[in-house]
A and B are shown apart, each in its own frame.
Chain A
Amino acid sequence: MAEAATAVALAATPALATGETPVAEGTVLRVLPPRALVRLQLPRRAIAAAGTLRIGDTPLPTTPGRCAGDDPALLWLAPDGWLLISDHHDGAALAGEARRACGERTVAAVDVSDALVGFELAGARVRELLSRGTGLELSDETLAPGRCARTRLAQLAVIVRPRAAERVELIVDRGPAAWLRDWFVDAGGLL
């Protein structure tokens, strides 16, 4: 159901309707298909026990800037906050699973599937493009699969999740998502 709702939301954003945009030579930006996204927030007093919590079969990552698991993927965003991503779960079901995993603790597990848009930036000039809009360290070590970072990119708060050497996933609020796509087109034109 969340997938259908997300598809409707995407269609209602005409600027994002086209799936793939060439942004530089050999580099494209594509809109990722709808999927379940859940923001999990633990209360301060429960942070110490975060490492013992498991969503699916995967322990919550407690090391800053790390991802864990495949589906759902668990992205560390803050000492008390994570983003859960799944291609196979429904958003509400994933939020429910996160709440169950936290047991009796009072947690906020919010389905944000329709609030965020995922992009994939792929190609030989990915790092050059990113360097135009963020001061984030873009070395092989920090921009490697298994890592993630929330940073300021093109004046927006963007979650950067490297997927391969020349493939990076970007997650941004739906509102300014079209702006981010246009920004990459402009930045690509200046390379």
Chain B
Amino acid sequence: MLKITCPWCGPRDEPEFTYGGQSHVARPSFDVDDATWARYLFVRDNPKGIHFERWCHTYGCAQWFNVARDTVSHEVLAVYRMGEPKPELGA
């Protein structure tokens, strides 16, 4: 089980949270071709290592925030609020 530190409520167990997929997925402009739009909708990173992802503290403050997690060790490397810049982390 992950222990995730909510930026507002502090450390809580994983079952209090809802996973929301990859962070920082930028929507392309509406005039892009179908392939680009399909990549935006359906294709996500699947790294072995650092993954930036969204989580919501559903059973707590109900706020969305970002987590940088190592997909190998499951270590939570960074937690930051929506709108804050992506932290620089070693690969």
B15 interface residue per 8 A CB criterion: yes
Expressed in whole angstroms, the Cα–Cα distance for A152 and B62 within the complex equals 12
Is the Cβ of B9 less than 8 Å from the Cβ of A135? no
Given known A135-B13, A135-B16, contact A152–B59 (CB-CB < 8 A): yes
Is the Cβ of A151 less than 8 Å from the Cβ of B60? yes
Which of B13, B15, B16, B61 is within 8 Å of A78, CB to CB?
B61
Chain B contact residues, majority secondary structure: loop
Is the Cβ of B16 less than 8 Å from the Cβ of A151? yes
A5 interface residue per 8 A CB criterion: no
Q: How many residues of A are in contact with the other chain, CB < 8 A?
A: 14
Instruction: Please give me the 6 A-B residue pairs with the lowest Cβ-Cβ distance, nearest first.
Output: A135-B13, A152-B59, A78-B61, A64-B8, A152-B16, A157-B59
> Contact flags (1/0) for A59-79 with B, using CB distance below 8 Å?
000001100000000000111
A-B contacts, 11 of them at CB < 8 A, read: A64-B9, A64-B10, A78-B63, A81-B61, A136-B12, A137-B10, A150-B59, A150-B60, A152-B13, A152-B16, A157-B58
